[in-house]
Chain A
Amino acid sequence: MEIKIVKKVLEAHEKLAEENQRLLAAKGVYAFNLIGSPGSGKTALLERTFEAAAADIKPGVVEGDIATTADAERLQRFGVPIVQINTGPFGGDCHLPPNLIRAALAELPLDDLNVVFVENVGNLVCPAEFYVGENEKVVVLSVAEGEDKPLKYPLAFREAKAVVISKTDLLPHVDVDVAALKKNLAAVNPGLIVLEVSAKTGDGVGAWVDYVKGRLPGSQGRDRERTGEAATHNHR
């Protein structure tokens, strides 16, 4: 005998993520879920962001790593509220699940913030799969990783609203074909917003910060958001 069930396996995850989003929305906080390979420059991007925009945004950070508090320590000098999550004690998960994000949000002074950066565990596969309640995912991809990555990890780039091509100062030293990289990004997600940044030299940081500010509640940039394109997708 076969019995129909039709039940989402991640239903409980999704409910928690939606609760996170409702909490963030109620507090007027916009949340970025930063995804990228280990060493792609996610923390460096945040360092530059806080240097450049300390006066203009009210950020909080959720740092996700399997182990160590190294990233949180790097960001401490900015006086930004940070919650470090180590997934090691929870089984070494390769991504941040929404229940841990909920616990982290409870630790942040959301009333005093207008943006939260969730720096996910370094990994281009698993974090793409899980909606944690963020407003948008942003992939950080360094030029050293090569132009083929969007084709090899399509879901991450498909789920993202924007991609930051990082470490552009390395371009003279690596063989990446940036034109091919952009073509591959467009093949996976034609609506993707592409920014190029060097956290080392500061090139492109201004455009990234403008992008961030444009997404925040009450900014005019939000109205310019393109809608109805392929980049608009559900999280399931």
Chain B
Amino acid sequence: MHELPVVESLVQQVRAEAKRLGVAGKVAVVHLKLGALTTFVPAAMTFYFKALTKGTDLESARLEVEEVPVVGACRSCGAALTLEGLPFVCAACGSPDLEMKSGRELVIESLEVRDDGPE
């Protein structure tokens, strides 16, 4: 259920960005990057997005969630690594001393807007 306040923030930001860019009412797709380490569920996010935008200027917009893998580097041997699951250790040398570079993203990446002439 904690997706709801997050999607509320998302909708507010998308609306503000669309207004700033002069494309209010024309947003077709919202591309969101979501790190695999977060606890947010993409299906819940798209569900809330639909519910929160119904009857608004974003009603025809769709939320597309792209999962970002957990990528890091080993501080011991320098190996680059992508973690598919636990444990959090380097596959090359077994060290737990890892620097995580991605996996916690919750970022509005881009907006796709319909090109249907000036407002």
Q: Which residue in B6, B21, B111, B115 is a CB contact (below 8 Å) of A10?
A: B6
Q: Which residue in A1, A93, A190 is a CB contact (below 8 Å) of B89?
A: A190
Known interface pairs A9-B106, A230-B97, A233-B100. Does A3 touch B86 (Cβ–Cβ under 8 Å)?
A: no
Contacting residues, chain B, for A125 (C-beta < 8 A): 2, 39
Most chain A beta-carbon contacts within 10 A, residue among B4, B88, B105: B88
Cβ contact within 8 Å between B37 and A3: no
Known interface pairs A3-B110, A229-B97, A230-B97. Does A10 touch B9 (Cβ–Cβ under 8 Å)?
A: yes
Cβ contact within 8 Å between B107 and A8: yes
A95 near B: Cβ within 8 Å?
yes
A residues 1-59 with Cβ under 8 Å of B?
1-13
Counting chain A residues whose Cβ lies within 8 A of the other chain, the interface size class is 35 or more
Cβ contact within 8 Å between A228 and B87: no
Known interface pairs A97-B5, A230-B97. Does A6 touch B86 (Cβ–Cβ under 8 Å)?
A: no
Cβ contact within 8 Å between B106 and A10: yes
B38 near A: Cβ within 8 Å?
yes
The total of chain B residues at the interface (CB under 8 A) is 37
B50 near A: Cβ within 8 Å?
no
A79 near B: Cβ within 8 Å?
no
Known interface pairs A1-B112, A13-B9, A129-B38. Does A236 touch B104 (Cβ–Cβ under 8 Å)?
A: yes
- Digitize B27-38: 1 where CB-to-A-CB distance is under 8 Å, 0 elsewhere: 000011000011
Cβ contact within 8 Å between B6 and A9: yes
Contacting residues, chain A, for B87 (C-beta < 8 A): 186-188
A180 near B: Cβ within 8 Å?
no
User: B2's closest neighbor in chain A, by CB?
Assistant: A126
Expressed in whole angstroms, the Cα–Cα distance for A4 and B30 within the complex equals: 10
Cβ contact within 8 Å between A9 and B107: yes
A139 near B: Cβ within 8 Å?
no
Contacting residues, chain B, for A186 (C-beta < 8 A): 87, 96
A161 near B: Cβ within 8 Å?
no
B113 near A: Cβ within 8 Å?
yes
Contacting residues, chain B, for A151 (C-beta < 8 A): 86
B residues 95-119 with Cβ under 8 Å of A?
96-98, 100, 104-113, 115
Q: Given known contacts A95-B2, A125-B39, A126-B1, what 4 new A-B pairs fall within 8 Å (CB)? A: A187-B86, A190-B97, A229-B96, A230-B97
- Shortest 6 CB-CB distances between A and B: which pairs? A190-B96, A187-B87, A126-B2, A9-B106, A7-B108, A5-B108
